Amino acid sequence: MDLMKGKKGIIFGVSNTHGIAYGIAKQLHEAGADIAFSYAGEAMEKRVRPIAESMGAKLIMSCDVTKEDEVAAVFKEVEKVYGKIDFVVHAVAFAPKEALMGRFIDTTKDAWDTALGVSAFSLVTVAKYAEPIMNEGSSILALTYLGSILSVPSYNVMGVAKAALESAMRFLAVDLGPKGIRVNCLSSGPVKTLASMGISGFSKMLKAAVLRSPLDKNVSLDDVGKAGLYLASDLSSGTTGEVVYCDCGCHSAYASAEEMDILGSAE
């Protein structure tokens, strides 16, 4: 498939072969895209570099997205290596582990600032430095989750951060639209990743997703990767300012028939 042949871009947030960012990178690469990779510090390099090299990356660079000078340096190097680019994938999120346990009301100011800084404001910084080197018709894609609009047990401050991310996406879509740059969020169902395993009770979230899904299953990495390919490619040329769900319908269902049966039997 040559859907992305001649297209160039960068992905922030690939950390291993089990994550959503990797699923998107794989689909982009197989469709012919030329991808640059960033990684979060030396500790992550040994994980990211083999993945990037397997996809023929011409640029593999460290970047702390909370540091504006590092983001600026990455895009300066991207322009040197690739010239103008066609897509940016923002797959960066973090909150202290203790903030993903217990009650949301106990969230500390430091945890709040960290979660929103890394997971939401970084999209603004990335978009700011990407804008000057993006072609007309290009795409910026950020990853979100249903916890942005619903209270999900133990997701806590990350839900607030994802809500901020989605709101920022809409404002960025308006700012960048006149230049022909689309900005969207992809809301995936729960996927067993390195990051998700830090969420208390995540295994229950996986089971709940299957129970709630109209398709009676949870999403696969390929499912989400293909949705990411759609949003990064010209196939989504008329889509911007949107949260696109790839969660087997979980976001659309109040409760499954099985859940209703369980509740009915408890009466």
pLDDT tens digits, 57-100: 999 999 999 999 999 999 999 999 999 999 999 999 999 999 99
Residue 204 in this model has a pLDDT that exceeds 60: yes
Query: Is 62 a domain residue?
Result: yes
Kind of pairing between the strands at 8-12 and 85-90: parallel
Nearest to 88 by CA among 195, 17, 184, 15: 184
* Exposure on the CB side of residue 188, measured as CA atoms within 13 A: 26
> What per-residue confidence (pLDDT) applies to 253?
73
Give a yes or no: residue 214 inside a domain: no
For 35-53, what is the mean pLDDT?
94
Identify the pLDDT of residue 43: 86
Report how far Cα 14 is from the mean position of its chain's Cα atoms: 10
State the average pLDDT over residues 152-169. 95
Res 143: pLDDT: 97
Residue 31, pLDDT above cutoff 60: yes
Which of 76-85, 158-167, 189-198 has the weakest average pLDDT? 189-198
- The least confident of 33-47, 103-117, 201-215 is 201-215
pTM above 0.75, yes or no: yes
Residue 20 structural domain:
8-199+219-253
By 3-state DSSP, what share of the chain in percent is helix, strand and coil, each rounded to 5?
Answer: 50, 15, 35
Per-residue pLDDT at 202: 61
Q: Tell me what the mean pLDDT of segment 183-190 comes to.
A: 92
Residues acting as catalytic residues: 145, 155
pLDDT for 209-266, tens place per residue? Answer: 777 777 777 888 999 999 999 999 999 999 999 999 998 787 877 655 565 555 555 5
Strands 134-144 and 85-90 come out as: parallel
Q: Is residue 213 part of a domain?
A: no
Q: Is residue 209 part of a domain?
A: no
Average pLDDT, the chain: 90
Question: Would residue 206 count as lying in a domain?
Answer: no
Give how many domains the chain has, as a whole number: 1
Q: What are φ and ψ of residue 49, in 5° steps?
A: -55, -45
In a domain, 28, yes or no: yes
pLDDT of residue 254: 63
- At 265 the pLDDT is 54
Sheet harboring 182-188: ordered strands across? 60-62, 34-39, 8-12, 85-90, 134-144, 182-188, 243-246
Picking from 41, 27, 26, the residue whose alpha carbon sits closest to that of residue 92 is 41
Q: The domain spanning residue 128 has which CATH number?
A: 3.40.50.720
In a domain, 261, yes or no: no
Residue 237 gets which letter from DSSP?
T
Contact 26, 228 (CB under 8 A): no
Strand (E) positions, 13-49? Answer: 34-39
- Is pLDDT above 70 for 193? no
User: Is 259 inside any structural domain?
Assistant: no
